[in-house]
Amino acid sequence: MLAVSLSALLVVGMISLTIARAERWRRIGSAGFTYMQVVRPKQPRVFGLGGGQIVMATPASPADRAGLKRGDELVSINGVPITDEAGLRRLDSSVKSGDRVVYRIRRRNEIRDVAIRFDSPMRNGYLLATAVVNGFVALAFIAIGLLVFSRRPGDRRAKVFYAMVTFGAVTLLSATIFALDASNMRGILTGPSSKAIVALPVFVIGFLPLTLHLALIFPHDRPIVRKHPYVIRWVYGMPLTAIFISMVFVGLAIWAQTAGRSSLGRIDRPLDAITIVVSIIGGALIVRLALLRRREGSWRAILSRPFQTIFAAIGFLLALLWACVSLKWKVPAFTIGILAAVLPYLSVLSYPILSCIALYRSHRDAGLEERRQVKWPLWGTLIALISKIVFSIALYGTMFAILFGEQDFGNWSRIAQILQLIPTILYLLIPISFAVAIFKYRLMNIDVIIKKTVAYGILSGLIIVIYLVLVGGLGTMLVHVAGVQNQTMVIASTLVVALLFVPLRNRLQHLVDRNLFRQKYDYPQALRALAAETLTATDLRSFFSFSAELLQQALQNRSVVVFERRQEDLVSSAKIGLPDAILGSVRMDASAAEAIDRPLNPARRHLPESAASALRRVDAALAVPVRSQHVLQAVLAFGSKLSDREFDLEDLEFISSAADQIAVTVDRIRLRRDEEDFEQARAMQQSLLPAAVPKIEGVDLFGTWKPARAVGGDYYDLLRLSDTQLAVCIGDVAGKGMPAALLMSALQAAVRASAAPDVSPAELCERVRRVIVQSLAGGRFVTFFYCTIDTAARRIRYCDAGHNPPVLVRADGRAVRLDRGGPALSRLFSGTAFVGGEEPLLEGDRLVLFTDGVSEARDAEGNDYGEDRLEAFIAANRHSAARELIDRIIDSVSTFSGGRVDDDLTLVAVAVSS
């Protein structure tokens, strides 16, 4: 409220000041021309004109009507020579509107007197048109700013936008009258006008930097702003510097003008004083920045303090300038002076271009919907900027051509005045485009606005004209043919004709409405675009955003929201036409969403409250399920159509086809994501397996892991405990994919942290269970077997925690199952103690550890390979080395199952030698 009040006061103040200046000009009047000021008797000619010669006369002004032309040389004004500055100043203060002033001019060596009656310049048609256009555009700025700010008062972008349009409006309101002040068209005195500088700070400090500021934070902060927040201070630092320099020189000019031309030389004294003061302050700031550099680094110390850095640079340049002047180094002094005065202005003039660059980068880096938002301010700013540049180049280029050609301005001035209004009108594109993008509602879709305001208005107006012509023409013909003269009968006959043509008018209006709101793409083309994206999409969220964008463009409705299935909920994950706040915050139960079994209108169908509430929050007029293999994958919620018509059969067929394509894509992307998950889990599992087999004399070891298509949680490890002891373990984590692989990594870490020569297998299993059980939830479990082999004592100690008991085959073919231990590692049996077992190891023994992927391999009839078959196979091949034995087991299992592997095959073999 405070911001609105302050801006209102600022606008009212500028309007009041403009009215006051207009009233002053109405009172004092103007001749409407300007001439070259005489500075010294012999001054160089500029644009072919010398001192006292008329530069131009405003079209339709008193001077133009009196016949003054460019090149006419003024001799005196009301008898006062133009070289008498004091006399002209007294004359200027006494002449008022309506007074008759006599100008003595020399034209082609002929002296003549021309009488001109001073008149109010506000009667000039161009000035009136400029005032009307500037006032209209300024009020439009304010109205748009208030609309955006009132709708989003807490939005930082809306605040910056409101400040931008307020300063823009003030600049436009002050432009008309201060342009008149700066024109020097009164026709008595010419020279620098201090009043024109009033509008400059508003434009330079306000509108331009605020436009760049908005471009840097719209729709989100650019990376440079996020990384270096002080960039915004630099945006405002350069304009303030430019205004400071301008104020210094204008202040000196005003002082010199007030003191009289004879006092112009006195400018050197205050200028020297200002230079010394600024140089001292700048030097102090340089010393301070140098001290900060040691603590913060050069770049941070300088860049994070833009105002101090800029002022230090100005002080340094002015100190150099003063030194060069003192040493009478003219060229360096001139160069430094130009740099100090021009560089801040050049940087500020680059702001519109930088704004376009920032918007372009935001457009390039944005997502689908944000790109659609950013393109409007990008194009609006570009069009306004380019139009201003093009018209300025054309106008000033023509003006210089005429000046150098010594031609009369004449008709060109009238055309130029009209053309200068076009860029001002196009300035409206900047606030309009930003306002549309800030709102981000497709209710304000710019395409629809154009259609409804331009095409719709033209066609509707044409229908009305046709209707009136038909009614009026046929009514008149009926009256003349029938010869009716009675006024009552004339009115009645006209009404009869009007009523007869009402259905025709309505039919034509319906055709216009239907064609104005037709699809941007026909439905087959939209489906082809969706199918093409289906083949290339890799990210589900991006695909949903693309689909929402495409469907909204095709249907021309107000909004589209995609509710994506996540576990037991359907969550809003993509949208178009609604605020960002709905993403992730609007959800419905998957069980409640099952009631959406076909495309339906939520308002006409009773739905569970969870689904009905979510659809109400997004203003859904149509809800469509996306199913894959009878599983609800997503729900599409469509807002009402922009034409306010119901979704017809053709719309529903298109939407159903689109939903089928979306379902196919969801399946493909999720399958690919699962495959990527499996690949990551497989890589992690592979990294956890032992990289090398430990070497222990008297023992031959080998282990292998053959992954299936679906990654499980198989695990084995071989650990050297001492020169004569090693540990062998194997495990199987319930589940598949990345969760199983992560749990397996925790299992490995627990085993390696607990394994030691003096830790028994039962004790190790207990320690591992205490660690692993904290990561188990939802009934999950881990089977595990751990044993230690002591070649010196010739024994094996073990503990089996619910795993497939390993097979120990003796040299004589007898098999022993190592099944002593306890339950699997789980929360359910966490209180059950483990019992260890021990067996002697003899020369020729073969120990095989395996997972259920071996014993549960199936043949074509569904029969398991089985542990008995495995035990017999090991016994038959008990003379094989460890690696050879494993290879033969894998070949046997593969032959049995016909090469089809449904689970990982993990095996460890131990062969005992002498």
Q: What is the pLDDT of residues 868-907, one digit of tens each?
A: 999 999 999 999 999 999 999 999 998 898 877 777 789 9
Determine how many CB atoms are found less than 10 A away from the CB of residue 111: 10
Rounded to whole angstroms, how far apart are CA atoms 308 and 305? 6
CB burial of 791-813 (b: ≥16 within 10 Å; e: otherwise) equals beeeebbbbbbbbbbbbbbbeee
- Give yes or no for a contact between 889 and 704, defined as CB atoms under 8 angstroms apart: no
User: What is the C-alpha to C-alpha distance for residues 873 and 886, in angstroms, rounded to an integer?
Assistant: 11
CA distances (Å), origin 900, targets 410, 495, 849, 893:
95, 88, 22, 10
The SS3 call for residue 506 is helix
Exposure on the CB side of residue 839, measured as CA atoms within 13 A: 19
Q: 546: pLDDT confidence band, cut at 50, 70 and 90? A: confident
pLDDT mean over 822-838: 88
pLDDT higher for 477 or 891?
A: 891
Average pLDDT of span 739-760: 86
Between vectors from CA 214 to CA 208 and to CA 220, what angle results, nearest 5°? 160
Residue 604: C-alpha distances to residues 559, 591, 607, 620 (Å): 19, 20, 9, 12
DSSP string, 660-722: HHHHHHHHHHHHHHHHHHHHHHHHHHHHHS-SSPPPBTTEEEEEEEE--SS--EEEEEEEE-S
Backbone angles phi, psi at 850, to 5 degrees: -150, 165
> What integer is the mean pLDDT of 535-543?
83
Whether residue 80 contacts residue 91, with contact meaning beta carbons closer than 8 Å, is answered with yes
DSSP secondary structure, 325-384, as one string: HHTT-HHHHHHHHHHHHHHHHHHHHTHHHHHHHHHHHHHHHS-HHHHHHHHHHHHHHHHH
β partners of residue 729: 717, 786
639-662 pLDDT tens trace: 988 777 888 888 898 999 999 889
Asked whether the beta carbons of 29 and 101 are under 8 A apart, the reply is no
**Would you state the structure tokens that stand for residue 481, as one six-digit string?**
């043919």
195-212: pLDDT as tens digits? 544 445 555 567 788 888
pLDDT value at 229 more than 90 = no
The length of the chain in residues reads 914
Sheet holding 815-817, edge to edge: 699-706, 905-912, 846-850, 807-809, 815-817
Tell me which amino acid residue 608 is. P
Tens digits of residue pLDDT in 146-194: 777 777 777 788 888 888 888 888 778 777 666 666 667 788 877 655 4
> Is 427 exposed, middle or buried, given 0-12, 13-18 or 19+ CB atoms closer than 10 A?
buried
> Which pLDDT band holds residue 72 (cuts at 50, 70, 90)?
confident
The tokens of 909 are what?
């073999």
CA–CA distances in Å: residue 319 to residues 239, 282, 316, 336, 703:
22, 9, 5, 10, 81
pLDDT mean over 437-445: 50
Give the per-residue pLDDT at 447.
41
- How far apart are the two ends of the chain, measured CA to CA in Å? 95
The model's pLDDT over 701-717, given as tens digits with 9 standing for 90+, comes to 999 988 765 556 788 99
Q: What is the pLDDT of residue 272?
A: 66
Per-residue model confidence (pLDDT) at position 209: 86
> Taking the CA atoms of the chain, what radius of gyration do you get in angstroms?
44
Model pLDDT for residues 771-781, shown as the tens digit of each residue: 888 877 767 88
Q: What is the per-residue pLDDT for 231?
A: 85
Provide mean pLDDT across the span 350-364: 83
Token look-up 């990384």 returns 227
- The pLDDT, as a whole number, for residue 263 is 42
Report whether 245 contacts 271 (CB < 8 A). Answer: no
Q: Find the DSSP H helices in 29-68.
A: 62-66
Would you give the DSSP letter of residue 30?
B
Q: What is the pLDDT of residue 265?
A: 46
Say whether pLDDT at 513 is over 60.
no
pLDDT of residue 635: 93
Q: Which of 575, 645, 642, 654 is nearest to 614 (CA)?
A: 575
- Tell me whether strands 782-790 and 795-801 are parallel, antiparallel or unpaired: antiparallel
Range scoring the smallest mean pLDDT among 105-109, 815-819, 848-852:
105-109
Give yes or no for a contact between 398 and 180, defined as CB atoms under 8 angstroms apart.
no
Give me the mean pLDDT over the 717-737 stretch. 88
Q: Check whether 693 has a pLDDT greater than 80.
A: yes
CA atoms 272, 276, 278, 279: torsion sign: positive
Mean pLDDT for the stretch of residues 280-287 = 79
Residue-level pLDDT at 485: 52
Q: Which has more pLDDT, 39 or 689?
A: 689
Q: For position 175, what pLDDT does the model report?
A: 72
With 70 as the cut, is the pLDDT of residue 744 above it? yes
Calpha distance 795→71 (Å, rounded): 122
In the structure, what pLDDT confidence band is assigned to residue 502 with cuts at 50, 70 and 90?
Answer: low
Scanning the structure block, which residue is given the tokens 């000035």? Answer: 127
Q: What is the pLDDT of residue 372?
A: 66
Note the pLDDT of residue 519: 43
Q: Are 145 and 131 in contact (CB under 8 A)?
A: no
HEC profile for 822-853?
ECCECCCCCCCCCCCEEEECCCCCEEEEECHH
Q: How far apart are CA 396 and CA 394, in angstroms?
A: 6
Higher pLDDT, 876 or 320: 876
**DSSP for 450-466, written as a single string:** HIIIIIHHHHHHHHHHH
CA atoms within 13 A on the CB side of 148: 28
Token match 């009215």: residue?
Answer: 19
The whole-angstrom separation of Cα 371 and Cα 379 is 12
Q: What is the pTM of this model?
A: 0.51
pLDDT at 848: 96
> Can you tell me the mean pLDDT for 37-43?
63
| 785 or 24, which is more confident | 785
Closest Cα partner for 119 from 132, 100, 93?
Answer: 100
pLDDT at 417 (0 to 100): 63
| Phi then psi dihedrals of residue 243, to 5 deg | -65, -40
Amino acid (1-letter code) at residue 462: L
Cα 622 to Cα 365, 586, 612: the distances in Å are 32, 16, 12
Least confident piece of the model among 15-24, 129-138, 474-483, 679-688: 474-483
SS3 string of 390-442?
Answer: HHHHHHHHHHHHHHHHCCCCHHHHHHHHHHCHHHHHHCCHHHHHHHHHHHCCH
φ, ψ of residue 280 to 5 degrees: the values are: -65, -45
What rounded mean pLDDT belongs to the chain? 78
In this prediction, residues 803-808 reach a mean pLDDT of: 95
Section 27-53 average pLDDT: 72
Which pair of tokens denotes residue 876?
Answer: 């038959």
Write the pLDDT tens digit of every residue in 605-638.
Answer: 889 999 999 999 988 999 999 988 788 989 999 9
**Taking 70 as the threshold, does the pLDDT of residue 478 lie above it?**
no
**DSSP letter at 61?**
S
Across 735-749, average pLDDT: 78
Task: Please check the confidence at residue 63 and state whether its pLDDT lies above 90.
Answer: no
Torsion from C-alpha of 237, 242, 244, 247, nearest 10 degrees? -160
Residue 584 above 80 pLDDT? yes
454 pLDDT band (50/70/90 cuts)? very low
Indicate the DSSP class of residue 646: P
CA 640 to chain centre: 27
CB burial of residue 855 (10 Å; 0-12, 13-18, 19+):
middle
In sequence order, which residues have a C-beta less than 8 Å from that of residue 856 and are 6 or more positions away? 864, 865, 903
| pLDDT range class, residue 361, cuts 50, 70, 90 | confident
Percent of the chain whose pLDDT exceeds 70? 76
SS3 48: coil
DSSP state of 578: S
What are the Cα distances from residue 369, in Å, to 252, 560, 615, 662, 791?
A: 53, 11, 21, 19, 70
